[in-house]
Amino acid sequence: MSAPKNFVITGSTRGIGRGVAAELLKRGHSVAISGRSQVAVDATLTDLAAYAAGDAKLVGTPADVSRTADLQRLWDESKRPLGRIDVWVNNAGISHPRQPIGELHTEDVNAVEETNLLGMMLATQIAMREMTTQPEGGTIYNMEGFGSTGMKTRGMSLYGATKYALTYFNKCLIEETRGSKVRICYLSPGIVVTDLLKRDMGSTTAEEWERTKRIYNILADRVETVTPYLAEGLIANEKHGGRVAWLTGKKAAFRFMTASIRKRKIIEDADLQAT
């Protein structure tokens, strides 16, 4: 087993972030969680406490990732009890109901860009600056998603644009930080059934829903399936520019080829009704 590490995970009061935090704690690593509200952070701290193994510590700080002051406080209040931050994971992100480009709601444009792109950039800047003052440096992971590879689907231009930009930004960071104390890496969970995904599905037409359901039942996974793998990758990777990816191209191709004989039921009509 590798030496215990200290992690900060933004947006970790639910979904993938919360699941990864639980898996890291189970493996004896310390975690600082964050969410937008103190209520959400406190509730998550209570829920996750039972997972902490060995000497693992669990702390939490509310933070709006679009605000520099909140992010600096998250770093400071995480480092104080943990001593150092080895890995910072920019997981915080939001989605939006599917909208044609000409009908995008201004509030969605602002919120999605501020959280998924601006928030990631600001958090990366703070984590980079602070990690350079640590003798051992540190590692930053930025979360890829739909759009990172240039994939397109109707109504997802806004969310996809933030992830396409994130991947470009990460490529530039990797080049700029070669030879430094700070490693820049990618975290790629694939299609995971979370509240964000369900919110997106809630805006589809009946025809789009049937098509989406077919694809998701081939490619999607649940949080409890994906997060153990992601946690193991976050612990093990030491490579600058490394990518911890669950849904690889080979895995996706295999699932499509075997879809007729390996029936998977990941998404059901009840998931759409719950949105």
Q: Do residues 95 and 197 make contact, with C-beta atoms less than 8 angstroms apart? A: yes
Please report the domains of the chain, with CATH numbers, ordered by start residue.
6-191+223-247 (3.40.50.720)
Q: What would the pLDDT profile of 108-142 be if each residue is shown by its tens digit?
A: 888 899 999 999 999 999 999 999 999 999 999 99
Burial 172-209 (b: 16+ CB within 10 A, else e): ebbeebeeeebbbbbbbbbbbbbebbbebbeebeeeeb
Number of C-beta neighbours around residue 100 at 10 A: 9
The torsion angles phi and psi of 266, rounded to 5 degrees, stand at: -100, -35
Q: Is 12 helix (H, G, I), strand (E, B) or coil?
A: coil
- Mean of the pLDDT values across residues 7-16? 97
Q: Is 50 exceeded by the pLDDT of residue 14?
A: yes
Contact status, residue 64 vs residue 114, Cβ threshold 8 Å: no
- C-alpha span between 70 and 92 (Å, rounded): 13
Distance of alpha carbon 196 from the chain centroid: 11
pLDDT value, residue 83: 97
Res. 218: pLDDT tops 50: yes
Say what the pTM is. Answer: 0.91
By annotation, the residues acting in catalysis are: 159
Pair of tokens at residue 231: 């946690």
